Chain A
């Protein structure tokens, strides 16, 4: 099996991967980084979202070999350097934006990509951006609130 190398959360990593090893498998099995989850086999649920070279990617939809040499960021890389929660993570905790936590890594990564390109999104823009991220626990209410809060906005209309 060939060795695949990439940078994950700022650290150079390397592990064996077959040609058809998915990036999600590479992270979870190859590197033991189980923060990235897998929730479906058709690329629809978004619990596996990571960033590859700054762009959000469903890691179950990409081969590890395709990320050779790339800069990958996962949920494990989203905290502040001192280990405290990052802005988006903190907003999720403050606004009860998660329950079982299974969709959460993908939600946080998708939220981060949205806020990177659109620092003050509207409620509708957030909902549209999350169309590839399923959550079964929250009815999305507090997820939307969390992302609004992370962007420094009040959740108008959310009680």
Chain B
């Protein structure tokens, strides 16, 4: 570890001190003087005509200040969707309006119908119960395939059907893939479900709208991963407030995992209501409410076919997926099953032709959008499951089959439109085999057998495209936003720095890792550097934190801004030392003239910048503050190999994870301690998906397990210790840090390892089980075992 606390050092997190002493400042910890409280009345039926909303009795209830309904928002815009997917026929997707409050129709259980603002939350809640609704309930559209049958009830009457889009990728390869399937020596087919999940950050969403009538300024405090995106979406598309009159503040954010990227109607309501009432308005989501309002994740139903030639080389992959959009298009929903999923179907393998078909479907359920990994876990899961099945069918070793088909030369242009810059999949496979002590598996299996337990081993690889994304490419693919990141580096007169970034930590430790980058470049103590984030008034326009992009894109913007600082500081130093600019070197916070013993300290130069008495005013401006916007040239491509060992209890079907090992290649590492933690967390969520979690709707569109009593969140005793390693490093070639991003890897790589391991355990015990859908509950495993 570097002793200087720069790049590569496992610095302890500075933010921890406030979090550990109860001094964090989360949105719900904020109370604005004079605030009122809003409570939403939500639909309890999944599909229905909303004939009337009678608020007269509720309005008379104590403390009620105002009740908003859909009628109040007819004049304003709907909640916008930030990505337009073009379908197989070149047509744009069907895009229904998403009103802030339901307007004439309710479309999912949880759809907001009215918002009651009162002096206290209890008063608002009591009054909401007095609102009388007249709803004609309609049959709910829940099952995706049924939703596409002619004559199915529709989620949106104004659309031609429940099909949002029918996407083919790469459409031109469709025929070649069909041919390859016909020519194949072997085709392995697998149908599977990628189970619907609820992100469940431990901090529920909160929004506080505030309005300064004298200045005409609105402020929104909100639990978001990307305050600037919310300001733009809500200001420009919903409420019509220009950016200079709207400030969005996201203080400490208690986890997000994607679910806090999106612009939600409650944010617009609070901002709107604060102005209408000229009072701050606060909303705190209850957990049972977050289950039916936070965007859900995954929910794909897929058939995948893998074609192989007589030598077991992969010759083609074809997939057919139905992806649930829910009742409305959440902010980035259309991009998840398409550009974040189809482009990853090559995985780590040199399959020459690939065709991905995705039908995105509207249903009467909560909108579905990005959840940790977003499209890439769905891609890895189906590919790594089908490869495992193919190895079993062909009677070959699953690791050898993977190795045989690995991409080994880089850069590598896949048949699904992306170009991997670097990677070494054999190296991560070797490392995984080492750290998981694969050689000792049989002995461990024998130990398990002595206890009457069935032990199984699952192995898989993954690749992801993250560090999202080149703006021009994203634009061609339908993004309605740029995906650069920004940084302003402000050097103060006495040498300390403030770095203002558009990224926003919601647990990733940016306040610790970002200073390491700057400290390393200048050669100063990271303690001299402060990070400012999460406030549109104090940071340059940036796109926020998701898609494992903060270091790769946001960190690169910080590098670029710091390079500008150093270039200017060198000019000042050159002047102070009466030397040529080109002769100045910066090392350990000291500027020196090459080949001489002349030097000036960092602080001398920064002081001169602000007290420019002896200063080249004719050549450069005083001050030392620079901004950079960094737009990446490509995605980054982290990859790795994972393994999982399970014990299955043959009497109950209960699965216990005994061992989990992850060997990742994240390129260069800035803070290895934080990277370990990111991988642990991702694996925890992946194990949760594989064994426990599943958001279940009944035929009437009721979420049947919408609380922690019923939705199985992973707990400490569901997990083993994990072995993680990121010593295999093939640096990214196109960002200045050579970093790839680590936030989502664990969630992408772990579900197939778990399922492969359980299938392996059952197969070794003589059960002809080829697949079980997640979550692998005892009931499902036991049933599969006892059928086969």
Contact = CB atoms under 8 A, between A and B. Distances in A.
Contacts of A98: 16, 19-20
A70 interface: no
A155 B746 CA distance: 21
A101 interface: yes
B746 A159 contact: no
A100 B204 CA distance: 13
A136 B26 contact: no
Given A96-B673, A100-B507, A142-B677, A159 B26 contact: no
B355 to A, nearest CB: 36
Contacts of A76: 21-23
Interface string A31-52: 0011111111110110100000
B327 to A, nearest CB: 24
A141 B18 CA distance: 21
A100 B506 contact: yes
Contacts of B26: 34, 37, 102
Interface string B504-541: 00111100000000000000000000000000000000
B684 A131 contact: no
Contacts of B508: 99
A75 B20 CA distance: 7
A85 B202 contact: no
Given A131-B716, A139-B684, A139-B719, A85 B287 contact: no
Contacts of A101: 15-16, 18-20, 24, 252, 254, 507
Count class of interface residues, chain B = 35 or more
Contacts of B16: 92-93, 98, 101
A85 B674 CA distance: 20
Interface stretch (B299-307, B576-584, B721-729): B721-729
B507 A137 contact: yes
Contacts of A127: 715-717, 719
Nearest to A104: B19
A118 interface: no
A99 B684 contact: no
A103 B693 CA distance: 19
Nearest to A40: B287
B717 A135 contact: no
B29 interface: yes
A102 B255 contact: yes
B3 interface: no
Given A34-B22, A99-B507, A101-B15, A157 B255 contact: no
Interface residues of A, number: 59
A44 B19 contact: no
Contacts of B203: 37, 39, 100, 102
Interface string B187-219: 000000000000011111000000000000000
Contacts of A155: 721
A134 interface: yes
Interface stretch (B129-137, B705-713, B754-762): B705-713
A99 B684 CA distance: 13
Main secondary structure of the interface of A (DSSP, over half): loop
A139 to B, nearest CB: 3
A35 B17 contact: no
A79 B23 CA distance: 12
A17 B21 CA distance: 25
B718 to A, nearest CB: 8
Given A93-B20, A100-B255, A102-B26, A133 B201 contact: no
B15 A42 contact: no
A74 B22 contact: yes
A144 B709 CA distance: 24
A130 B255 contact: no
B286 interface: yes
Given A101-B254, A128-B717, A42 B684 contact: no
Contact of B709 (A28, A42, A79): A42
B287 A45 contact: yes
A105 B202 CA distance: 12
A79 B21 contact: yes
B683 interface: yes
A4 interface: no
A64 interface: no
B715 to A, nearest CB: 5
B21 A139 contact: no
Interface string A92-120: 11101011111111001000000000000
Interface in B5-35: 12-13, 15-24, 26, 28-29, 31
Contacts of A100: 201-203, 252-255, 506-507
A69 B278 CA distance: 41
Interface in B428-467: 435
Contacts, number: 188
Contacts of A36: 22
Residue among A85, A137, A139 facing the most chain B CB atoms (10 A cut-off): A139
B15 to A, nearest CB: 7
A117 B2 CA distance: 40
Given A96-B676, A137-B255, A155-B721, A104 B201 contact: no
A63 interface: no
Contacts of A78: 20-22
A126 interface: yes
B685 interface: yes
Interface string A64-77: 00000000001110
Question: Of A44, A89, A130, A155, which is in contact with the most chain B CB atoms at under 10 Å from its CB?
Answer: A44
Interface in B650-683: 673-674, 676-677, 680-683
A28 B23 CA distance: 12
Contact of B201 (A79, A92, A105, A136): A136
Contacts of A79: 21
A143 interface: yes
B182 interface: no
A147 B680 CA distance: 17
B77 to A, nearest CB: 32
B272 interface: no
B202 A41 contact: no
Contacts of A143: 716
Given A45-B708, A127-B717, A144-B716, A102 B201 contact: yes
Interface of A: 28-29, 33-42, 44-45, 47, 74-76, 78-79, 85, 89, 92-94, 96, 98-105, 108, 123-124, 126-128, 130-131, 133-145, 155, 157-159
Given A34-B28, A101-B254, A139-B714, 19 more contacts: A78-B21, A89-B21, A92-B16, A93-B12, A98-B20, A100-B202, A101-B18, A101-B20, A101-B24, A102-B203, A104-B19, A131-B715, A134-B708, A142-B677, A144-B721, A157-B721, A158-B721, A159-B722, A159-B723
30 contacts: A28-B29, A33-B22, A34-B28, A39-B203, A40-B707, A42-B707, A44-B709, A45-B708, A75-B22, A76-B21, A92-B20, A93-B13, A93-B20, A98-B16, A100-B255, A103-B202, A128-B716, A128-B717, A130-B715, A130-B716, A135-B202, A137-B255, A138-B680, A139-B680, A139-B714, A140-B715, A140-B716, A143-B716, A145-B721, A159-B435
Interface of B: 12-13, 15-24, 26, 28-29, 31, 200-204, 252-255, 257, 286-288, 435, 506-509, 673-674, 676-677, 680-685, 687, 707-709, 713-717, 719, 721-725, 746
* Closest CB pairs A-B (n = 4): A35-B22, A139-B684, A101-B19, A102-B254
